[in-house]
Structure 1
Amino acid sequence: MELITILSFTLGNAIAKAIIVEWLGDNKLLENITADLMDLVRDNSMSDTDKRNAMAQVEQIGQQLVMRLRAKYAAMPHRSDLNPEAVIFDVAITSSKANISLTSLVESQLNPNKVYSELRDLRPDVTKTFSTHETSLYHSLLKLLSEELVNLSTELIGFLPLVTSKTWENQDRILDAINTILTQPTHEAAEFEMKYRNAVNNALDTPDIFGIPYADRLARSQRLSTAYIPLRATTGQALRALQLMDLSDFAKLSSSSIVPDLDTSFNRVYEEISKSGFGKSSSLSIESGLNEFVLSVSTGIGKTAVLEKLMKYLTPDRSIEQVLAQSRRLVLRGDAGSGKSTLLKWIAVTAARQDFTGILSRWNELVPFYIRLRERVNKDFPTPEEFPKLTARMIAGRIHTDDWTHQVLESGRAIVLIDGVDELPRPQRKDMLDQLAQLVKLYPLARYIITSRPSAIKSSEWPEWEDWVKQEEFSIATLQPMEPHEIDSFIEHWHAALKQSLNLTQTETDRMVNSLKRIRKQRRPLARLATSPLLCAMICALHHERGGHNLPSERIKLYSDCVEMLVEKRDEARRIPLGDDYPDLGYDQKLELIRHFAFWMMRNDYTEVTQAEADKFFNDYLSKTTHKDISGTQVRKFFVDRTSLLREPTLDGIDFTHRTFQEFLTAQAIFDNNEFGLLLGKVRNDQWREVIILTSGYAGTLRRGERTKFLKNLVNKAKKYKREENKKQVLLLSIAALEGSAGLEMAAQEYVLEQATEVFPPKSEDDVKQIAIAGDPAISLLQYRLEYENNLRWCVETLGLIGSIEAMNALVDYTELENGSVIRKLWDIRANFEREIYFKQVLSHCRVLHCNSVSSLVGFEYLTSLCELYIYKLTKPLHITELAKLSNLKALSLHGDNVNDLSHIAHLHQLKKLDVSQTEIDNLQAIAPLVNLTELNLSGCPVSDMTPLTHLSRLCKLDISNTKTQDISFLEKITQIQSLNIAGLSIKDLFPLDCLQKLTELIIDHTEVDDVSFITSFLELSHLGITGLRVSKLDPLLQLPNLSSLEISLSQLNLLEPIVENSSLSKITININDYSNDNLLFFLEFLNGDYSKLFDFAGKDSNIYNLFMQWPVKSINVSNENLSFSLIKDNPESSPSNNRMNKTH
């Protein structure tokens, strides 16, 4: 029996039966419930054997759910004055009356509150005879049941794509896996799990807060959860497509099924829409996988939804929580200090504490396993048996069975957090991938998150990595720099920790916070440095130490000042005596020791050493100096206890608190020892990339000549590579090594840029970051050029990251373009500049502007050149008075719940196109004066009175779908309408349409119309949407000579045959939203590529595919809000095998 068949059965009766038999233990009570309780499977088309097998499977799922419910009930406080059996029995009856299936839970958006509300509303009067405490218990049990149902669904939905990727050999094993998911841990396992969770929490719930004195004391009193700052991430291409298509019902699906060229395709659609203008009918020539967008845009129907989804896709920044919720297997990229390790620790701690909220609340059943790869250098990837020992060494020996970790992994309750691929030596990485692939294959239901710096996992450097990610179905996300409001939040958190550590007053803390925020706003170079958590923490620490004075504006100077502060100045400033336990060494001697220790570790590919190895290194180094009386142990303790440069991550281990310190100190040692030649041999080793950049910058602060010589040698080294990929990598590295131009000879700068012109323009996010490091010297090669046409948005993003006045001036030339992605990027980078100046000097030149999210309209008054403005979401209530000054506007789009008043745009007399769909607009009086309007979209607005529209004598396109109006008689006064959408209105009589003889597009979906004979008078009609209508025949469509596009419901397929001879019909879109109970079945078959099932699924005796081949129709689309299926004829005379099927999710 097919898995999906079993999953579509109603579980309510099975749950009720399990409650009565397994929990209450009274079979006689079954007699008090209707016979339906025993009839778990009502499919009469099934054989008796299949029915019995299905009943057994459904009953087993019900039993396991009730076991979970009982376990949670047992943990609840109990009262002696209530009758729990009666309450539990009523929960069973409620369950038996509920239509609980995987599909119904998906339709409830996997929201336990919605499921609870539906269960509660089934029997609203059931608690009338209950006491207060019995009522409370009844509702508590319903809530627990709802949570368990959603937890089950979440696991199964995340599990389903593995069926399509052939992870499992047969469906028996699938059903076995489902049983594994549902299996309740034994008492011993549950007891150990709780101890393990506590151990993980104790081990990892320690925030690494750079620059806080007495951090050990602070760590004991502060939780990571309070110090953690939520981050944002840019998602990979496949995950972007999932976001675009709003696959919330299938959020756990693997992203590998997305077609590889989807990103390019969506960008083409976006460009075409941007060029053609809002609502303009356009014939798009794009990839066939985007047919539903072509249909929507070319017909002028649903443009708002299309644009919103495209903006959602092309604005892939999301909160990290959103990315995590949609990713079962994730590679998380981030630069040094971007917060990767902190994020993994936060996930581990929050999972251990079962403290997730919001969209991650379903993760509270997960068991975290945290693996720091820097601890696995020269070791194998740990086996599952070793996982608990990595963070809970003291209790790992008390596992009640060696199989516990395997059981957690197998059940899908494990989340494996793998930190720092880049910290493994290159020769070891392939073995790590092979071993990790075995783990994923053995335990496909577990969650996996892997972190790395981007430079370590670039496909050009490690092609096996890219193949592995695709093969193992991992999605990719990149942590983004902090935005100004996030930096301010970080500053507040850092100083809250400082206040706790030093017992400062709130007044003192507020003064420092406000001072640093003010400095950040005033000094743009400093603000650009503060975009990573580590660098922001360094700035906070220096600001505190120096009383707000002399803060550096360049990264290398910031590192140097922080090392100086940590090694010497802090204890000096506080006059703290070191005592006999620490060495009596001067600042230069301490610095020399720690620099060479870092260089020794780097040269030997060490990320961690034992204490004995560290002591030996310091002893050996000291033996060559005059300080033979100082022991290596003293030195090591000093750097651990007094500087925070080194730490003890394990019982016997020593490493740098942050790899950035190790890299910077190594760079200083290389400069001191004149080891530049060694660096030239490391130019293609990603682990040395930062060291090379930092060495170049540091050399420039002391000996410019040395830096010039090194940079020229670096470029010459690049030119010797024959492979273009290798040459590009080293040329980009040489550009990045220009960082810190203050210490750079002009001749060296010019030489590097002249030789590296071939890597311009930037063509990827990684190129952007590397080129931006060079700063202002790179601007001349980023200015607008016609030959950059395909990469203009990357140039804009790079200039935004550079963020200087010179970069802003270079952006002005880009504002004259009609390239949609460039214009959108100009908006996205606004936070990198002073807002008012940027609006005045850059955005004021734009004629078109797309704003994905707007929280303030300050500065919009300067945008008087704007002709088209699209604001896709107002994130807070705002008065739109600033928009009243944009007198040249011809197209305006406003969206979001915070849009409720249009009075300020009543004087925009040049406005021709207005879209305020999905807003709270309920009064149209302000629209009446806009007599030049030709297009208006009010879809989803709570407006009922449409009479103000009668003043709009030029209106050609109107969308009033899903509004509150029940009267369309106003249409008799605006007879020039050509495109009309009245879907979702409570109307049956369409006589006012008779006067609209110019109609070319008409959507009447889900109205009360049951006869389409009225349609015959619209001879110009080219597109018709009748989804959801209860019509018995479509014959009247034969009388429409220009009808080329038709949108119908799946249930209407059998009405198509009579109009096969209508040669003008070239496109059919079939909407399957009204077949929600079968969506999951369709989706699985769709993923498997068996489109013939679609036509069987349509319920016709004849084969629609064969009919399609006979029709003059060129394409069929099947779509709903989640997916689109397209069957397109390449050649009407060809055989079926020569036709193609395309899918878009």
Structure 2
Amino acid sequence: MDPAMLVSRIAVTGIAPLIKRLFVAPGKGADLTDRPVRLSGYVSFKGEKRSLTERDLAKLASELVSRCLRSMPPHERIAEDQLDAVADTLARTLYALGDLDMDDVQAVQLGHKEMAQQLRHQNARQISELSADAAGLHDAILEIASLHVLHFFSQRSSFISRTLIEQSRKLERITKILDSLESQEASNLPEDFKFDEQYLRYMAQKHARLTIYGIDLVETPGQWPLDTAYLTLHAEPTEIEEADPLLFESGYTAVPLPSLPSDQVLTEHPRVMLRGVAGSGKTTLIQWLAVTAASQKLDPSLEYLRNRIPFVLPLRSITRKDKELPTPSGFLSAVGCPLSGIQPSGWAERTLAAGRALVMVDGIDEIPENEREETRTWLRDLLSVFPGNLWLTTSRPSAVPDKWLHAERFTELALSPMGYSDVAAFIHRWHKAAGASESFGSSLLAAVRRKQDLSRLATNPLMCGLICALHRERNAFLPDGRKELYDAALSMLYRRDRERNMGQPDGIHLREEPRIQLLQKIAHWMIRNNRAEMDRDLAERIISDALPSVASAASQGNSTQIFRHLLMRSGLLREPSPGRVDFIHRTFQDYLGAKRAIEVWDIGLLVANAGSSQWEDVIRMAVAHARPNERAELISHIMEDGDKSFVPSTRARLYLLAMACLEHAVELDPHVRKAVERRTAALLPPQSAEDVMALGEVGPMVLEFLPHDPNDMAINYDLANYTVMTASMVGTDAAIPVLAAHAHSSKFPVRFQIVNSWRRFDTDRYAEEVISHLSDTDLFFPISSLQELTTLRRLGGRPLLEVRGTFSPDELIANIDPARLWQLRLSKGSITSDLGWLNYFSNLRVLHLEDEDATIDVSSLAGMKKLRTVHAGCKQVTGAGNLPPSITLRIY
């Protein structure tokens, strides 16, 4: 029914007098106010003094329908038995005039069609129950009534005065804004825009390439384009939240803090503290975010980076003993950005004040512990002055206490170890980028799965890169342990110039042993002084002091020349900013520094720092380098310090460190080994979230001490829960038997942890040995890859599915059993605007739609007979009025 045609027919029916009855008459001077009045203050059927009751409103609506009907030709009129329904619905729709959150001036500016649409939305459910013809008549009358309502407002004596006042206020606000901009030297604003472009181009170029350690072999590049090398890992909350299965009865299933793709952490939380072990990809993630924000090449999942200005602040570069941490105006100069000298005055402050910045503070663990409190104060000050923006900080897991930035509303997340699928993807990309044979990649992947020692090492991108390079260089032969792996890696780095026929471009040739000796001295100084970076002048002085005892190096040049050779040719040092030096990765610094500490028997230094998170790898590598009697002495001293400590967490940490060292002690006094095992027995099985985090860092050896029989913990199922958490954190296939033993548990938190660890392991093996034995009662099975989806279908499907990856409707329809599925959770990437394809799942009863950026139309769900509840966490939901009463829509 065309409202425009209808209005021409009923213009003579006298609708205006009826509409006037909806509103109170203006009092003497009452409306001559400069303050707009809400519509609820005008309507005559609300408030304490009503001149029109709800019953009168129903009569008025009936009269409106009757008058409109008389103006229509007989063949266009609807059936008599539908007229009462139209009148009743129209009365309820008009009643919503009192609920509109706008004043008369805003209503007139809105327009009669949009106003009618807002009124329809208020009564969408009742309107949806009308027939098509009846709904058409209702909408036509409503649109005409809205036109008369706005006409009525515009004729009131007070409307013009309020309109003029509102226009004057807008003009005043605009004038104030312009005056404010002028006071801030408006001439700088065009420079801001121009500098934004320059700076973003610089950031996109600076971080566009990524070094993958170990790939720089003969005829292969030393770096990859970031978009080729970057691998999205996952981050998990460090806090453990137990599920409440009772919530399931209301349509919700308890979900204890699910993991997120690492590049999505800032979509859920504007402030994040991201923890991860050395080489886990923290800095690579920061590079990826910086380049993505700078280039603005955004897919829908990265829209949160739209118009963001990235600031990358590596703490090891911006902390100096003689300088304070930088204010925003000094961010660029602190990191050696060549554009710092031409940035407009106040540009960084204006960017932060506008909430447009992406501030990434990298490496809290890479500064001395006595400087971390100062860093936290610096962050607090920045946050108090510039409370908006996105903030990301990174650290090794135990460098600072849990909830270190909790008061500043930072969410703590931890990068998960690479799962089997991640390792497989990395190996495939590495071999493709390096031009290596596909068969090499396949054989390496098989070796990683088969050999526990090797799979234990392949838990982060750094180690995976080294393993790939060594595997290729050695024609599929690989070392077993971490020390042997580093020995081989250093040897490979030494040989690369010779194998490239580089000759001696600087006139210096150092054999591998003297080269390592000199690098050890630099690394030893850095670990002794808790530094991840040092001045170049100091590094040269260390070389100068060492040269008299390294004759083969002294004969080839002075300290400056020898240091430059190490910087340019060793492959282990770099100059991140002018005058500053560090190792290409902290792990190499720890390895070489530990080797030197053992050579000079600096046992006091090692034991004194055993309780520091920064020294964990140093201690482990020191045990690996030491001789049997030295290992026994070092481990014994660590245990003795643990015995003396009155702080439970410190005592546990030292015992666990001693146990971790056993992995590197090929030969050790059996009495010392038994003493370590006796002390750690009191810590196992884990009994708290803190135990889980600590034991998870120990590695696969902890699996030997975890109980495989869930009946041992039948009384307290929390122990079983913490046990499976620890096993899943280890993240190698050696953990599968432990998890499989607990797969028969009836406890929801245990089953939840097991099912959500699937992605960390080989998909098929984990499905066969673990997933297939899990009870599906109240348990969502997460799907993040097509392989998981097809594997689960092969297992017979599951009634509750959570689709986390990006899938097309065709993929989901082809691989989900419609007869078994009754509750489905869809997240970003798999939610389409048209949900009609969900009708295929005829047994679906509960649907969760979770994408805060999505706009969806739920009207296509109206025909799903068994659907009872739709939970929608989306940006905009339309079509709700078309859902039948049997379907409850919950928008959050």
The two structures have a TM-score, normalised by structure 1, of 0.54
Which secondary structure state, in structure 2, belongs to the residue aligned with residue 365 of structure 1?
coil
Match of 1:631 in 2: 558
* Gap change, CA 1:760 and 1:213, over 3 Å in 2: same
Which secondary structure state, in structure 1, belongs to the residue aligned with residue 215 of structure 2?
coil
* Gap change, CA 1:694 and 1:727, over 3 Å in 2: same
Q: State the structure with bigger RCO (CA 8 A, min sep 6), 1 or 2.
A: 2
Give the letter aligned to residue 231 of structure 2. Answer: I
Match of 2:312 in 1: 370
* Gap change, CA 1:869 and 1:798, over 3 Å in 2: farther
Q: Counterparts of 1:322-333 in structure 2 under 5 Å?
A: 322-333=264-275
Q: Counterparts of 1:489-888 in structure 2 under 5 Å?
A: 489-499=425-435, 508-547=436-475, 549-566=476-493, 568-582=494-508, 584-627=509-552, 628-629=554-555, 630-699=557-626, 703-740=627-664, 742-744=666-668, 746-763=670-687, 767-768=691-692, 770-772=694-696, 773-776=698-701, 778-783=703-708, 784=710, 785-786=712-713, 789-802=717-730, 807-830=735-758, 837-843=765-771, 845-848=773-776, 850=779, 851-853=781-783, 855-856=787-788, 870-873=800-803, 877=811
Query: Are the equivalent residues in 2 in contact too, given 1:939–1:962 (CA < 8 A)?
Result: no
Q: Offset of 1:226 from its aligned partner?
A: 3.6
Match of 1:910 in 2: none
2-side partners of 1:520 and 1:631: how far apart?
45
Identity rate of aligned residues, in percent?
26
2-side partners of 1:412 and 1:813: how far apart?
50
Give the letter aligned to residue 364 of structure 2. Answer: V
RMSD of aligned Cα (Å): 4.3
Match of 1:351 in 2: 293
Q: Offset of 1:347 from its aligned partner?
A: 1.8
Give the letter aligned to residue 200 of structure 1. Answer: M
Match of 1:987 in 2: none
Give the letter aligned to residue 187 of structure 1. Answer: P
1-side partners of 2:217 and 2:761: how far apart?
36
Q: Counterparts of 1:995-1144 in structure 2 under 5 Å?
A: 1121-1122=891-892
- Residue 482 (structure 1) aligned with residue 418 (structure 2): yes
- Residue 413 (structure 1) aligned with residue 340 (structure 2): no
* Gap change, CA 1:340 and 1:843, over 3 Å in 2: closer
Match of 2:189 in 1: 186
Query: Are the equivalent residues in 2 in contact too, given 1:233–1:480 (CA < 8 A)?
Result: yes
Q: Offset of 1:535 from its aligned partner?
A: 0.8
Q: Offset of 1:937 from its aligned partner?
A: 4.8
Give the letter aligned to residue 196 of structure 1. Answer: Y
Q: Offset of 1:622 from its aligned partner?
A: 0.9
Give the letter aligned to residue 196 of structure 2. Answer: E
Query: Are the equivalent residues in 1 in contact too, given 2:824–2:846 (CA < 8 A)?
Result: no
Match of 1:235 in 2: 237
Candidates 392, 395, 407, aligned match of 1:452: 395
Which secondary structure state, in structure 2, belongs to the residue aligned with residue 394 of structure 1?
coil
Match of 2:129 in 1: none
Cα deviation per residue 1:751-800 (whole Å; 9 max; x = unaligned)? 21211233223356664354243423652344443266313222113224
Match of 1:431 in 2: 374
Which secondary structure state, in structure 1, belongs to the residue aligned with residue 838 of structure 2?
coil
Cα deviation per residue 1:950-1008 (whole Å; 9 max; x = unaligned)? xxxxxxxxxx9985449x8xxxxxxxxxxx97679xxxxxxxxxxxxxxxxxxx99877
Match of 2:838 in 1: 920
Query: Are the equivalent residues in 2 in contact too, given 1:199–1:391 (CA < 8 A)?
Result: no
Give the letter aligned to residue 872 of structure 1. Answer: E
Q: Offset of 1:514 from its aligned partner?
A: 3.9
Q: Offset of 1:596 from its aligned partner?
A: 1.9
Q: Offset of 1:818 from its aligned partner?
A: 0.9
Q: Offset of 1:420 from its aligned partner?
A: 0.6
Which structure would you say has the larger Rg? 2
Which secondary structure state, in structure 2, belongs to the residue aligned with residue 444 of structure 1?
coil
Match of 1:440 in 2: 383
Q: Offset of 1:539 from its aligned partner?
A: 1.0
Which secondary structure state, in structure 1, belongs to the residue aligned with residue 662 of structure 2?
coil
Give the letter aligned to residue 756 of structure 1. Answer: T
Match of 2:333 in 1: 389
1-side partners of 2:279 and 2:814: how far apart?
39
- Residue 204 (structure 1) aligned with residue 204 (structure 2): no
Cα deviation per residue 1:606-628 (whole Å; 9 max; x = unaligned)? 32222222111111101234343
Give the letter aligned to residue 413 of structure 2. Answer: A
Q: Which runs of 5+ in 2 are unaligned?
A: 1-28, 38-107, 123-172, 828-834, 849-857, 871-879
2-side partners of 1:364 and 1:923: how far apart?
36
2-side partners of 1:322 and 1:197: how far apart?
21
Give the letter aligned to residue 227 of structure 1. Answer: A
2-side partners of 1:554 and 1:918: how far apart?
55
1-side partners of 2:434 and 2:489: how far apart?
17
Moved more, 408-417 or 201-210: 201-210
* Gap change, CA 1:713 and 1:364, over 3 Å in 2: same
Query: Are the equivalent residues in 2 in contact too, given 1:732–1:767 (CA < 8 A)?
Result: no
* Gap change, CA 1:229 and 1:632, over 3 Å in 2: same
1-side partners of 2:614 and 2:192: how far apart?
41
Give the paired residue count: 693
* Gap change, CA 1:488 and 1:1026, over 3 Å in 2: closer
Which secondary structure state, in structure 2, belongs to the residue aligned with residue 322 of structure 1?
helix
Match of 1:469 in 2: 405
Query: Are the equivalent residues in 1 in contact too, given 2:203–2:290 (CA < 8 A)?
Result: yes
2-side partners of 1:806 and 1:414: how far apart?
43
Query: Are the equivalent residues in 2 in contact too, given 1:738–1:774 (CA < 8 A)?
Result: no
Which secondary structure state, in structure 1, belongs to the residue aligned with residue 361 of structure 2?
strand
1-side partners of 2:789 and 2:305: how far apart?
38
Give the letter aligned to residue 520 of structure 2. Answer: R
The two structures have a TM-score, normalised by structure 2, of 0.69
Match of 1:27 in 2: none
* Gap change, CA 1:201 and 1:219, over 3 Å in 2: farther
Cα deviation per residue 1:270-321 (whole Å; 9 max; x = unaligned)? xxx3xxxxxxxxxx5xxxxxxxx3xxx4xx4x53xx12xx3xx336121123
Give the letter aligned to residue 616 of structure 1. Answer: R
Give the letter aligned to residue 814 of structure 1. Answer: H
Q: Offset of 1:337 from its aligned partner?
A: 0.4
Query: Are the equivalent residues in 2 in contact too, given 1:735–1:771 (CA < 8 A)?
Result: no
Which secondary structure state, in structure 1, belongs to the residue aligned with residue 746 of structure 2?
coil
* Gap change, CA 1:562 and 1:940, over 3 Å in 2: closer
1-side partners of 2:632 and 2:427: how far apart?
38
2-side partners of 1:656 and 1:213: how far apart?
17
Cα deviation per residue 1:404-425 (whole Å; 9 max; x = unaligned)? 2111111111222111111111
* Gap change, CA 1:802 and 1:207, over 3 Å in 2: closer
